[in-house]
């Protein structure tokens, strides 16, 4: 890392660990006054050969570590020379102008091209450390914008994204793409997130987009009841091995409250004993935080069921799409078909529909089921958040279905157990 004290500019190198390839791109970040300029260096290296503390390649004769380190040093030195030269030629030079000079010299490209909306969006997706699920949502945003650009036959740029543009873009998502209001809200939020990043990175100075918002509406949260979960657990699926495995994975999520993305990468090394009790020490894929999750007897039974057949991976692996298909089929087979009222909002118009419950069940229903039953059984919200990793009650609320049982139990606990007073006549 290097620093230029006069302009408080630092240069740092790190790996783009988002992709699953063994060789990771080395990214350079130039930071000043909370603004960042990112660019991809021409070098790739594996995680095991990278010293993140020293920000250089480890000594390994099997790789060209000297060439990589020399190249990174040259990039550092070039940036320092650009900054020093700029300060000498113009003591009042602005940060934006310094970043511009670095772009021209280091990135070796035309300013107009580099600062175009699409180039910046592609660069954002290449360099930002975001969860894969979030990355896919930005990919969906990009597709919608490209389709919209083709429809209006007008090139999208940073300055064109204002309140009027977002109004028309939202109408397009409602009418042409037939998205529901929460889906449109999610797309707009992702676009504004990118625009905010580009603003901080000095790609533009447009703020006309900031006042536009589409509020989400509260949706029906589908969760299994205790009785329905018990039906799943006790079902004899000996002659249906595919559904049997899907059931075990789904129930394991119902018992731990975790996402399918974390279940797919569970490792035996993450299962550790504390005071003679087995816990799952999970580093979540979405937030990269460590959760310590107690395992219920049912969860332990599921792990034990596969212990003789699996080495490092303690549970069978099923794709998210197939798991959703199997769980719907299984719940239909077991008669979990209560009619459920759901409300959709297409084109801003709210409509009510009745659907059998099994059609609405997905792998995410398991996480909601855990949250709902945890509270229904008397668990405290702050303890629940510790297990699930939710940061605030507002987010947790989206995962909870407040059932009639919860309302009745809480009402009885607070009111019917209180001292009885006679009403004066």
319-352 pLDDT, tens digit each = 889 999 999 999 999 999 998 877 665 545 566 7
- Measured distance CA(173)–CA(84) in Å, rounded: 49
pLDDT tens digits, one per residue of 12-41 = 998 987 777 888 889 888 887 777 778 788
Q: Determine, yes or no, domain membership for 220.
A: no
Residue 422 lies in a domain: no
111 band by pLDDT with thresholds 50, 70 and 90: very low
Would residue 10 count as lying in a domain? Answer: yes
The verdict on 362 and 240 lying in the same domain is yes
Same domain, 128 and 17: no
In a domain, 238, yes or no: yes
Where does a domain end: 67, 84, 114? 114
In the structure, what pLDDT confidence band is assigned to residue 110 with cuts at 50, 70 and 90?
A: very low
Is residue 215 one of the residues assigned to a domain? no
Asked if 230 and 273 sit in the same domain, the reply is yes
Instruction: Quick: pLDDT tens for 351-389.
Output: 677 889 999 899 989 999 999 999 888 888 889 888 888
Q: Quick one: 147 and 34 in the same domain?
A: no
Q: Which of 114, 144, 170 is the last residue of a domain?
A: 114
* Token pair 């309140």: residue: 163
**How many Å apart are CA 347 and CA 163, to the nearest integer?**
18
User: Does one domain contain both 92 and 157?
Assistant: no
Three-class HEC string of 162-185: CHHHHHHHHHHHHHCCCCEHHHHH
How many domains, the chain? 3
CATH number at residue 344: 1.10.443.10
The answer to whether residue 214 sits within a structural domain is: no
What is the domain range of residue 23? 2-114
- The answer on pLDDT for 43 being more than 50 is yes
Handedness of CA 308, 312, 315, 320 (dihedral sign): negative
Distances (CA, A) of 108 to 4, 89, 100, 101, 120: 22, 21, 11, 10, 15
The per-residue pLDDT for range 297-319, each reduced to its tens digit, is: 999 999 999 886 566 778 988 98
* pLDDT tens per residue across span 253-265: 999 999 888 888 8
Q: Are 244 and 305 in contact (CB under 8 A)?
A: no
Task: Tell whether 182 and 247 lie within a shared domain.
Answer: no
Q: What CATH number is associated with residue 139?
A: 1.10.150
Q: What pLDDT was estimated at residue 390? A: 82
Question: Among the three residues 61, 89, 114, which one is the final residue of a domain in this structure?
Answer: 114
pLDDT computed for residue 179 by the predictor: 84
* Rounded Cα distance, 49 and 51, in Å: 7
Q: Where are the alpha helices (DSSP H) in 156-313?
A: 163-175, 181-200, 226-234, 241-256, 260-263, 297-306
Would residue 177 count as lying in a domain? yes
Percent pLDDT > 90 in the chain is: 33
Same domain, 341 and 289: yes
pLDDT tens for 272-287 read 988 888 999 988 877 6
402 in the same domain as 297: yes
Mean pLDDT, range 402-408, rounded to an integer = 63
Other CB atoms closer than 10 Å to residue 2's CB: what's the count? 16
Lookup result for tokens 């039906």: 231
* 425: pLDDT strictly greater than 90: no
- 397 and 263 housed in the same domain: yes
Indicate whether 420 belongs to any domain. Answer: no
Residues 190 and 305 in one domain: no
User: Does one domain contain both 192 and 271?
Assistant: no
Question: Quick check: 58 pLDDT over 60?
Answer: yes
190 and 252 housed in the same domain: no
């Amino acid at each position: 890392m290097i620093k230029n004290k006069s302009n408080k500019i630092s240069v740092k190198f790190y790996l783009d660990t988002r992709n699953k390839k063994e060789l990771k791109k080395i990214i350079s970040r130039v930071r000043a006054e909370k603004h960042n300029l990112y660019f991809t260096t021409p070098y790739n290296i594996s995680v095991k050969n990278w010293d993140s503390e020293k920000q250089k390649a480890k000594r390994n004769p099997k790789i060209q570590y000297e060439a990589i380190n020399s190249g990174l040093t040259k990039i550092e030195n070039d940036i320092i020379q650009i900054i020093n030269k700029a300060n000498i030629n113009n003591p009042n030079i602005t940060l934006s102008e310094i970043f511009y000079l670095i772009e021209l010299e280091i990135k070796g490209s035309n300013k107009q091209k580099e600062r175009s909306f699409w180039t910046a969006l592609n660069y954002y997706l290449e360099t930002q450390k975001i969860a894969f699920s979030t990355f896919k949502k930005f990919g969906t945003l990009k597709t919608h914008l490209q389709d919209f650009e083709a429809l209006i036959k007008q090139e999208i740029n940073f300055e064109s994204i204002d309140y009027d543009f977002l109004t028309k873009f939202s109408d397009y998502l409602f009418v042409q793409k037939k998205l529901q209001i929460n889906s449109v809200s999610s797309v707009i939020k992702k676009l504004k997130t990118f625009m905010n990043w580009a603003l901080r990175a000095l790609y533009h100075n447009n703020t006309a987009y900031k006042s536009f918002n589409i509020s989400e509406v509260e949706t029906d949260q589908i969760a299994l009841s205790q009785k329905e979960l018990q039906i799943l657990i006790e079902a004899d699926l000996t002659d249906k091995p595919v559904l049997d495995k899907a059931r075990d994975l789904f129930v394991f999520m119902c018992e731990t409250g975790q996402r399918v993305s974390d279940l797919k990468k569970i490792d035996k090394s993450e299962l550790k004993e504390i005071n003679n009790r087995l816990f799952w020490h999970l580093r979540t894929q979405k937030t990269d935080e460590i959760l310590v999750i107690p395992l219920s007897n049912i969860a332990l039974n599921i792990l034990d069921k596969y212990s003789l057949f699996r080495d490092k991976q303690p549970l069978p692996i099923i794709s998210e799409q197939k798991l959703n298909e199997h769980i719907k089929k299984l719940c239909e087979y077991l008669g979990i078909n209560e009619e459920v009222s759901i409300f959709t909002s297409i084109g801003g118009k709210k409509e009510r529909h009745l659907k059998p419950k099994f059609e609405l069940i997905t792998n995410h229903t398991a996480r909601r089921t855990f949250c709902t039953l945890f509270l229904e059984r008397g668990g405290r919200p702050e303890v629940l958040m510790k297990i699930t990793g939710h940061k605030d009650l507002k987010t947790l609320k989206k995962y909870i279905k407040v059932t009639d049982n919860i309302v009745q139990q809480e009402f009885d606990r607070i009111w019917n157990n209180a001292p009885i007073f006679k009403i004066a006549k």
